[in-house]
Structure 1
Amino acid sequence: MIVTFVEAIEDKLRIINVVNLEMDLLILILYFYLCIPLGIVFNSLKCKNQRILFNLFFGLFFTMIITKEWFIYIFTWTILIYFLSRIFKDPYYPIFFGGFLILSYCHVYRLIYDYLSWKMDYNCVQMMITARYIYYAVDKPKIKENNSFLMFMSYIFMYPNLYLAPLPYFSFVDLITRKEDFTHYSIKPALINLFKAMLFTAGELFIRPKFDTEVYFSENWAHYNLIEKLFITQAVSVVLRFSYFTAFKHSQAAMDAFGITYNPKTKKCDRFPVADYHYDLEKNIMMKTSMWNTNVQLWLKHCFYEKLNHIFGGYTYYITFLISCIWHGFYMTYYLFFVFWAISVQICKYVYKAQQKFYFIPERIRHIICWFWSCMTIDHFATGMKILDWKKAIQFHCSVNWIIHIQALVIFGFFVITGFGQGQKRKKKD
């Protein structure tokens, strides 16, 4: 019945699909645009229960449209997670393992039946819902009131960020109950971000197709030297980010319209930025990491790094990267990327501690070197993940003689073995 209903809607959408977009992409775009007027209606509701039910209804509706036959499973799993939270006094670990077990099933199903797919469908939605399961488990003790079944369900199926940006449970409850002053809230930031999203969409439609990862497997690729290959990889990586920034900006606009990003202290929608668009200008990989998919980074820090630190100590950093990798999926290219991402961030920490050792280099030159190294390193590693196919990713890395991976391992090994500059006391911040 659900599938029949969704297929009927898709038949109608095909009529207006004049630009011949993939159906999942068309549904994604329409969903984001609908979030703006829905946000206006949501903020006009005066009653807490009205806001809960309004959000829950459209959250369930959009989830059904996106996930089709998976909807009944996702809905059932959510009910089971709620009962887990009621059974255990501290539900963190049961929900942690239960949520990831459910998500793992989705990942394995995709590997078997939809291999190498980048579709924004049930898998992506379940990732965000799993993140909310765990946020709920962490934040539940902080909520003394307004912690009902309907509040839980409304939070899990919060419609503005079904695809992106998991947000804390307590922030959702504060929004629903209007704990903070929303007198000066305005829809204007949402409209500004929607306009920016449209610009990124134009870039995604008209510029990004000219920069594709298939260039790495063309006949011309073998004729480029190593330096040319590195610069081409860098250029392609920058343009490929249009896809992500398009989604980030649309999600930001939807969240702004919903009101959850509104900060009464500044009277601006400056809470929970989905990403920082100065990413490509940042020279510090640690900062780059925090600027990319920012709310996921906060989720990982709040729900795993801080919760598990007392168990794993210094290894918690690597455990958190592993959890992030499992959360993303089971493609081997993910694991290669996340291992070297963790190594690169650790190198950045080592260099930061030893920065006085490099003061003989002029400051501007130091910054240029750091910027070039961080961009080249992280984008090269991410290229393998974007390619997704393991054999093709290995072929790409072999084409540059694994030079980026080797240099990262050499630098990492040098600091680990020698402890170079790690005992230094920093006199000034570089």
Structure 2
Amino acid sequence: MDALAPLLAPIDDLVASSVAASGLAEDQVKYIYCLLFAVPFGWLFRVLPNLPALKHALSIIISIVLCSWTLGQYSWVHAVVSSLVTWLLVRLLPPRHAATAVMCWAMGYMSVSHIYRMYIDYMGWHLDFTTPQMILTIKLTSFAFAYADGNIARKKDLYPEQSRNEVKQLPNLLEFFGFVFFFPSFMAGPTIEFAAYRDYISLDMFKTKECNGQIPSTIFPTFFAIGRAFLMLPLCIYALQMPLNTVLTPEFAAHPLYLRLLLGYVYVNLARQRYYFGWYLAECGFVACGADYNGHNADGSINWDRVRNCYPLSIELASNTKMITDNWNVCTSTWLRMYVYMRLAPFGRSVATIGTYTVSAFWHGFYPGYYIFFVICAFQTLAAQAVRSRIRPLFVTLKENPTTKKMVEIPKQPFKFFYDVCTVIATASITTLNGGSFLLLGWSEAIAFFSVLRWTNIIAVMGTYVVFTYIIPARRSKPPPKTE
């Protein structure tokens, strides 16, 4: 990086002025600029000649330079080591055994990285190599399983998603490291399947009637994506004036309970906005280079959402926990579903569920706050399912569709609307307050936060679970009587 210092000096000055203007930490500002730099590189990538080797090599160079500037001169070495071992495991072992070995290797490397980070920066939010390593863990494990799927004898055993992403031919090292260091994805995600990366580099992704083998123009979609991301930035900056650890102060505890609940919701919600901003901004590089292309609609418009990682409105207005998990950190949720849950499903639903939550927890790290949050979410999900099975039938009736001969739900208005409003409010408030433990990280901090709330969120979850699971019997909507 010393050789590039004269070239980076103006950028460093820009970073310093941005830090002074925004109040954000220097490493966070560098990360933002790093994601923005992916946009012009993406436009350059779009017009490169169709030479896969050139694209792989250029992507590797871009990611190494950005990673060195943002996270430290040798921070990218972790990616090289973990990826090279993965490639060797897939190359040398039978595909099925290789997939399991890569999962153990990648998750083990990730876990050691988390422990090391906790040792040198406990409870800190400084950015380091563990962020791209988390993304890389998803990419390496999905690649290993996709290669195993591509070389399985019984293709009928595969789900449609697995068949779509299967990899039949092992890539050479240049192509593999091009995938590992694909610059729109390397620093902060979102992730992309190896099959999609290969189709993008070869332009097979665009061999459709509408595209005719050419990447569509990405100028307007990119600026739209950037604008969408920066709509979230004011809330992120405002959140600096209302840090979440304020909820642990004596001044906060002195407020009446109703105000503590309201302010607790506001503080946690503001802290959550940085994730929306980061995920939206990370997608911009994908849009710029064209890799976010996801087909055309019937009206001729293009879907730019192949790697969309969040849907904020669907999260904030969710009526149940599943809607939140389906729209939050979508790429990680998809990875957990396809490469953990589906792989463990033959051993039973309970094993698959427990295994998925375990992998998710280890992937996030080892702070107690994560595990508190996941346990509460599990009971919240069960409670919501119990309420839905017992209360929702009161607000809908079943009627047979004369065309499909299937039963469909007909809402009883305006009562169904009232039910929907109540479920949205309950889901938003309880999930947000529970999320305080995830963001506060520590055990004592999470317990202190719940204590100052008088444990109302925990009582609401556990009380609902017990009452609607063990006391109130389940009921079903009665189908209409058949007529001759």
> TM-score of the superposition, structure 2-length normalised?
0.81
Indicate conservation of the 8 Å contact 1:63/1:157, yes or no. no
Relative to structure 1, is the Cα distance of residues 408 and 13 closer, same or farther in structure 2, using a 3 angstrom cutoff?
Answer: same
Distance in 1 (alpha carbons) for counterparts of 2:215 and 2:183: 23
Matched letter for residue 274 of structure 2: S
State the match for 2:17 in structure 1. 18
Q: Match for 1:377 among 417, 426, 430?
A: 430
SS of 1:246 mapped into structure 2: helix
Relative to structure 1, is the Cα distance of residues 340 and 426 closer, same or farther in structure 2, using a 3 angstrom cutoff?
Answer: farther
Deviations 1:380-421 (A, max 9, x none): 111112112322221111112222112212322345445842
Indicate conservation of the 8 Å contact 1:261/1:271, yes or no. yes
Aligned CA-pair RMSD: 2.5
Superposition map of 1:13-412 within 5 A: 13-16=11-14, 17-20=16-19, 21-45=24-48, 46-68=50-72, 69-89=74-94, 90=96, 91-140=98-147, 141=150, 142-145=166-169, 147-161=171-185, 162-181=187-206, 182=211, 183=214, 185-187=216-218, 188-205=220-237, 207-266=238-297, 267-278=302-313, 279-359=315-395, 362-412=415-465
Distance in 2 (alpha carbons) for counterparts of 1:302 and 1:309: 10
Matched letter for residue 289 of structure 2: F
Distance in 2 (alpha carbons) for counterparts of 1:104 and 1:414: 38
Distance in 1 (alpha carbons) for counterparts of 2:7 and 2:107: 32
Deviates more, 1:180-189 or 1:227-236: 180-189
SS of 2:188 mapped into structure 1: coil
Distance in 2 (alpha carbons) for counterparts of 1:316 and 1:128: 22
Deviates more, 1:326-335 or 1:306-315: 306-315
Relative to structure 1, is the Cα distance of residues 138 and 218 closer, same or farther in structure 2, using a 3 angstrom cutoff?
Answer: same
Deviations 1:221-273 (A, max 9, x none): 22222222111111222222221111011112121112221023333312221
> TM-score of the superposition, structure 1-length normalised?
0.91
Indicate conservation of the 8 Å contact 1:66/1:122, yes or no. no
More helix by share: 1
Distance in 1 (alpha carbons) for counterparts of 2:433 and 2:83: 38
Superposed displacement of residue 372, structure 1: 1.3
Superposed displacement of residue 166, structure 1: 2.0
Distance in 2 (alpha carbons) for counterparts of 1:392 and 1:152: 42
Indicate conservation of the 8 Å contact 1:146/1:173, yes or no. no
Deviations 1:154-199 (A, max 9, x none): 1112211221322222111111121122436221212111122223
Distance in 2 (alpha carbons) for counterparts of 1:23 and 1:220: 30
Matched letter for residue 38 of structure 2: C
Deviates more, 1:90-99 or 1:235-244: 235-244
Deviates more, 1:33-42 or 1:336-345: 336-345
Q: Which of 1 and 2 has greater Rg?
A: 2
Deviations 1:354-386 (A, max 9, x none): 344443992122112111111111111111121
Indicate conservation of the 8 Å contact 1:356/1:426, yes or no. no
Distance in 2 (alpha carbons) for counterparts of 1:61 and 1:10: 11
Matched letter for residue 99 of structure 1: A
Distance in 1 (alpha carbons) for counterparts of 2:145 and 2:383: 31
Query: Structure 2: 5+ residue runs without aligned partners?
Result: 151-165, 397-413
Query: Structure 1: 5+ residue runs without aligned partners?
Result: none
Superposed displacement of residue 311, structure 1: 2.1
Relative to structure 1, is the Cα distance of residues 264 and 372 closer, same or farther in structure 2, using a 3 angstrom cutoff?
Answer: closer
Distance in 2 (alpha carbons) for counterparts of 1:331 and 1:366: 36
Count of matched residue positions in the alignment of Structure 1 and Structure 2? 424
SS of 1:210 mapped into structure 2: coil
